[in-house]
């Protein structure tokens, strides 16, 4: 049977803005309060999706969430009509309004953790939405994320959906941004590598001092249990607390893997050699495992954070060769572009580099890999995916027209208080659920 990896990219929502909401994420804080372009952001994302489709990849679209989130504002005591709720929040709690306006669901690497059917106890693809407890604006995502994933992966014969982990920092879960699957082929049982920032129940263990570690070991273990993974095929690695303190808020800012390649920075992990030995042993020797370590002397941690060298997608093209999908920031850095030019000449499966402009997302700390959720599927499982969410020429042009019709060209902080923005968002999303055949996944559609 044919197996492959599909990428589901987050469609940028109509309220995309720079609010400086993510302590520990350097780009988010340094661009706080700049004005944004939701239209350009959505189009940059769509162009990347189309480019991957054109490279022969299976590419899907994950719908954005309804923002501003007036339901959360009501839970926090703001009353009246929707317009009044927004006006009161703008006046009394502007920071809360900014948070409930975030379009952060675009970074679908944080939407969920997925285990493909080859790895799970019941031979189904398992999904657990991430609870994203560490950031208030992101903690508003998991319920709707779960609904959207169920509307995309409906068939219970193939897909198992779990509820997100308990909403507490002890089980802080940031999803696939901290999860990599290594395998000899997509359809063969792989090793699932879970990366965490800290131990929730053991404060004697190392932890960062300046910035938060968002994801715990205990969350990783819970997801592995829910997905029915065998302990012999799971590895847990801790992120180096020092790199979290430099701005590596997710592991996918410092490491990325695909099939038999793990591409990582020398400073990414704690206890690196022992853990990589465990990984080698569990991976077995059916295929060579390529552990590509980038040295400080080639690319420093700060240059990696600035350019997002590791927030690249390593993909297997239909030819079997691998390509790196990198943001143009990598091309603009001499150190990184020369590193990548040399890498594709070496004896690793990575043969090509393609650069794409996702600057609107990058300014909030979201690179190409943040924008995508990977799902390894068999041909039969792919047939069971809601076909309306899969990218093709027609969907690309429909979604571009939809963006032109509904999205603003510019948003600045003051615009978030405009009640029109909620109406615009709702009409956009209402139409989108029809385009993508999702049904009534949004709360405003259920009343």
Question: Which residues are near ligand SUG by CB under 6 A?
Answer: 18-22, 25, 28, 102, 104, 107, 109-110, 135, 138, 177, 249-250, 252-253, 364-366, 370
Residue 360 near residue 40, CB atoms below 8 Å: yes
269 vs 288: CA distance, rounded Å: 22
Nearest distance from residue 192's CB to ligand SUG, in Å? 17
**With the C-alpha atoms ordered 149, 186, 11, 332, is the resulting torsion angle positive or negative?**
positive
Nearest distance from residue 252's CB to ligand SUG, in Å? 5
Nearest distance from residue 174's CB to ligand SUG, in Å? 7
Q: One of 16, 137, 227, 250 is an active-site residue; which one?
A: 250
Q: One of 101, 183, 220, 370 is an active-site residue; which one?
A: 370
**With the C-alpha atoms ordered 56, 336, 43, 30, is the resulting torsion angle positive or negative?**
positive
Nearest distance from residue 13's CB to ligand SUG, in Å? 12
Measured at the CA of 39, the angle between CA 37 and CA 40, to 5 degrees, comes to 70
Q: Quick one: which of 213, 216, 112 has its CA closest to 162?
A: 112
Closer by beta carbon to ligand SUG, 7 or else 25: 25
Nearest distance from residue 318's CB to ligand SUG, in Å? 26
Total Cβ atoms within 10 A of residue 83: 14
Closer by beta carbon to ligand SUG, 28 or else 267: 28
Q: Quick one: which of 250, 177, 237, 167 has its CA closest to 211?
A: 250
Count how many Cα atoms sit within 13 Å of the Cα of residue 290 in the half-sphere of its side chain: 18
Residue 224 near residue 194, CB atoms below 8 Å: yes
Q: One of 5, 141, 174, 329 is an active-site residue; which one?
A: 174
288-291 long-range CB contacts below 8 Å, 24 or more apart?
288/260, 289/182, 289/260, 289/262, 290/260, 290/261, 290/262, 290/348, 290/349, 291/262, 291/264
Joined tokens for residue 24: 């520990």
Joined tokens for residue 356: 């794409």
437 vs 439: CA distance, rounded Å: 6
Strand pairing report for 255-258 and 234-238: unpaired
Residue 65 near residue 15, CB atoms below 8 Å: no
Nearest distance from residue 327's CB to ligand SUG, in Å? 12
Instruction: Kindly write down the DSSP assignment for every residue of 320-375, as one continuous string.
Output: S-EEEEEEHHHHH-HHHHHHHHHHTTSSSSEEEEEEE--HHHHTTT--TTTTEEEE
Closer by beta carbon to ligand SUG, 375 or else 395: 375
Closer by beta carbon to ligand SUG, 73 or else 176: 176
Total Cβ atoms within 10 A of residue 274: 11
Nearest distance from residue 319's CB to ligand SUG, in Å? 28
Closer by beta carbon to ligand SUG, 41 or else 395: 41
- Is 250 labeled as catalytic in the residue annotation? yes
Nearest distance from residue 339's CB to ligand SUG, in Å? 20
Continuous H helices in 153-291: 217-226, 241-244, 272-283
Continuous H helices in 31-104: 38-54, 70-75, 82-92, 94-100
Q: Quick one: which of 263, 253, 266, 256 has its CA closest to 362?
A: 253
Phi/psi for 129 (5° steps) reads -60, 145
Q: Which residue numbers are catalytic?
A: 174, 250, 370
């Amino acid at each position: 049977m044919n197996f492959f990896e599909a990428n589901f990219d987050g469609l940028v929502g109509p309220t995309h803005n720079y609010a400086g909401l993510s302590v520990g994420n350097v780009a988010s804080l340094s661009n706080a309060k700049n004005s944004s372009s939701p239209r350009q952001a959505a189009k940059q994302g769509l162009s990347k999706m189309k480019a991957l489709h054109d490279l022969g990849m299976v590419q899907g679209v994950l719908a954005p969430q309804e923002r501003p989130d007036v339901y959360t504002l009501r839970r926090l005591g703001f009353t009246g009509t929707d317009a009044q709720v927004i006006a009161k929040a703008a006046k009394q709690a502007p920071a809360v309004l900014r948070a409930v306006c975030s379009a952060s669901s675009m970074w679908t690497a944080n939407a969920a953790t997925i285990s493909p059917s080859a790895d799970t106890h019941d031979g189904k693809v398992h999904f657990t939405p991430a609870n994203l407890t560490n950031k208030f604006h992101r903690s508003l995502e998991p319920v709707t994320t779960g609904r959207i994933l169920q509307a995309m992966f409906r068939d219970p014969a193939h897909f198992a959906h779990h509820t997100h982990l308990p909403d507490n920092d002890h089980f802080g879960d940031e999803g696939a941004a901290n999860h990599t699957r290594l395998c000899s082929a997509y359809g063969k049982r792989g090793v699932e590598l879970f990366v965490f920032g800290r131990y929730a129940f053991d404060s004697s263990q190392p932890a960062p001092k300046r910035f938060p570690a968002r994801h715990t070991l205990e969350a990783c273990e819970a997801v592995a249990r829910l997905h029915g993974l065998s302990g012999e095929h799971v590895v847990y690695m801790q992120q180096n607390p020092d790199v979290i303190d430099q701005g590596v808020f997710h592991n996918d800012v410092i490491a990325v893997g695909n099939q038999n390649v793990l591409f990582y920075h020398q400073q990414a992990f704690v206890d690196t050699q022992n853990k990589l030995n465990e990984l080698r042993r569990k991976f077995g020797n059916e295929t060579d495992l390529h552990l590509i370590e980038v040295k400080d002397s080639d690319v420093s941690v700060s240059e990696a954070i600035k350019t997002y060298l590791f927030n690249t997608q390593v993909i297997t093209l239909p030819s079997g060769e691998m390509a790196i999908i990198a943001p143009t920031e990598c091309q603009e850095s001499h150190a990184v572009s020369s590193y990548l030019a040399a890498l594709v000449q070496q004896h690793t499966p990575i043969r090509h580099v393609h650069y794409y402009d996702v600057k609107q997302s990058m300014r909030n700390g979201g690179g190409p890999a943040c924008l995508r959720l990977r799902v390894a599927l068999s041909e039969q499982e792919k047939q069971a995916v809601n076909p309306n969410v899969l990218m093709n020429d027609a969907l690309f042009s429909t979604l571009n027209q939809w963006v032109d019709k509904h999205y603003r060209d510019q948003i600045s902080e003051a615009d978030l208080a405009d009640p029109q923005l909620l109406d615009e968002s709702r009409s956009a999303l209402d139409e989108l659920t029809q385009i993508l055949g999702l049904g009534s996944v949004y709360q405003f559609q259920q009343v």
